[in-house]
Chain A
Amino acid sequence: MLIENPLNSSALAFPILECFHIVGFALSIGTIAIVDFSLLGIGMSRQTPAQLSKDTSLWTLGGLVVMLFSGLLLFSSDPDMYYLNWPFLIKMFFFVSAVIFHYTIHRKAVSSDTPPPNGKLIAGASLFLWCGVIFGGIFIGFVYPGLSFSRV
């Protein structure tokens, strides 16, 4: 039985959801980056990474929720296209890794006021994973659906 996805009946639904997606990731990745920059010693010198993390964690979570739910709705508009799209699969790999990393290793690194000796490495890894999510997301629209890497 086929059920029509109501999102596909409106031409505006997809772009509006994309706007929510963008604001959601600007808020979540932006607040994570603030903490990462602080771990790296760039700017934000008056607070410890732990303080910044506590200050922004609620907004990070809020941004993640907006990003995740708008993303799920975007995905629902055409699941099999996304399933066959290799940048999407890479994006999902980066996204799952980034979220797990954020709430385990990264969280532990900013749990005490003195950052661990490998704090810079953790910050770099976090920024790398989140940038991977962004790159994957952009490339979704630039390749023909298919698993072949030669088709970029």
Chain B
Amino acid sequence: MLLEFVQWIQLTGFFTALRGSAYVYPIVLSLHMVGIALFGGMILITDLRLLGWGMRKRSIAEVVNQFRVPKRWGLLLTVTCGFLMFGSKAEEYYYNAFFRTKLILLALVLVAELVFYRGVYANPAALDQAPSVPGNAKLAAALSLLLWTSIACCGRGIGYIEPPLDKIHARIHVIYDAALTVPRGLYIQKGQDHQDVSANQRHSGRAE
């Protein structure tokens, strides 16, 4: 059922058009990375403050409360771009072990957020009144650091897994383009984006 759902998503007109453009995917990926830079930095700094390693001159309440809204905007940008990339090749992502791991880790972030919400994030002013940062706040920060860096690494890993091309239904109608038809051995070795790899293999397959 899940497989049918991802097949349906990638074959919608919007995502078919998105997949067909050689420019849109790298632009969306770049915006995804911009989101990581702007929003990821705030997560790291918030965690470092809770651990007592950074921004120690500011109170925990100031750091947590001030970054809350900008972090949400950054998350919105990153998730939107991520969803656009997923939708354009949903079936390939479905089979991708790193993508699956990434989703599980994102779910764990949500769980951690719910578990620590009352004790840590909802009332950061209380943490400032304690003589030292309470253990559960430090645990929340350490988990957040671990989960978010793992999520970023899994995201990078997605591009390194070759999709099972015999199972993929979406045809990649990339307009014949010098960049995609020239043999790209160097890139394939380094696990570049699999759209290029699969397009390449289809072209060579057709020629034979």
- Please give the residue numbers on chain A whose beta carbons come within 8 Å of chain B beta carbons, in ascending order: 14-15, 18-19, 22-23, 25-34, 37, 42-47, 51, 54-56, 58-59, 77-78, 81, 130-131, 134-135, 137-139, 141-145, 150-152
Contacts and interface: CB of A to CB of B under 8 A. Distances in A.
B75 to A, nearest CB: 13
A144 B179 contact: yes
Given A26-B44, A31-B41, A47-B62, A56 B193 contact: no
A18 B62 contact: no
Interface of B: 22-23, 25-27, 29-30, 33-34, 36-42, 44-45, 48, 54-55, 57-58, 62, 66-67, 69-70, 149, 152-153, 156-157, 159-160, 178-179, 182, 184, 186-187, 190-193, 196
Given A44-B70, A145-B186, 17 more contacts: A22-B33, A26-B152, A27-B41, A34-B67, A43-B70, A44-B66, A46-B66, A47-B58, A55-B55, A56-B54, A134-B34, A138-B26, A141-B193, A142-B193, A142-B196, A144-B182, A152-B179
Nearest to B57: A55
B44 to A, nearest CB: 5
B89 to A, nearest CB: 15
Contacts of B48: 59
B44 A144 contact: no
Contact of A137 (B27, B33, B184): B33
A33 B44 CA distance: 13
Given A139-B30, A144-B178, A30 B192 contact: no
Given A43-B67, A47-B58, A59-B54, A135 B44 contact: no
B203 to A, nearest CB: 13
A39 B40 CA distance: 19
B178 A150 contact: yes
Contacts of A51: 57-58
Given A15-B156, A78-B186, A81-B186, A56 B37 contact: no
A108 B68 CA distance: 28
B149 A33 contact: no
B41 A134 contact: no
Contacts of B187: 141
A9 to B, nearest CB: 13
A131 B124 CA distance: 32
Given A34-B41, A142-B196, A134 B152 contact: no
Contacts of B179: 142-144, 151-152
Nearest to A133: B37
Contacts of B159: 141
Nearest to B23: A152
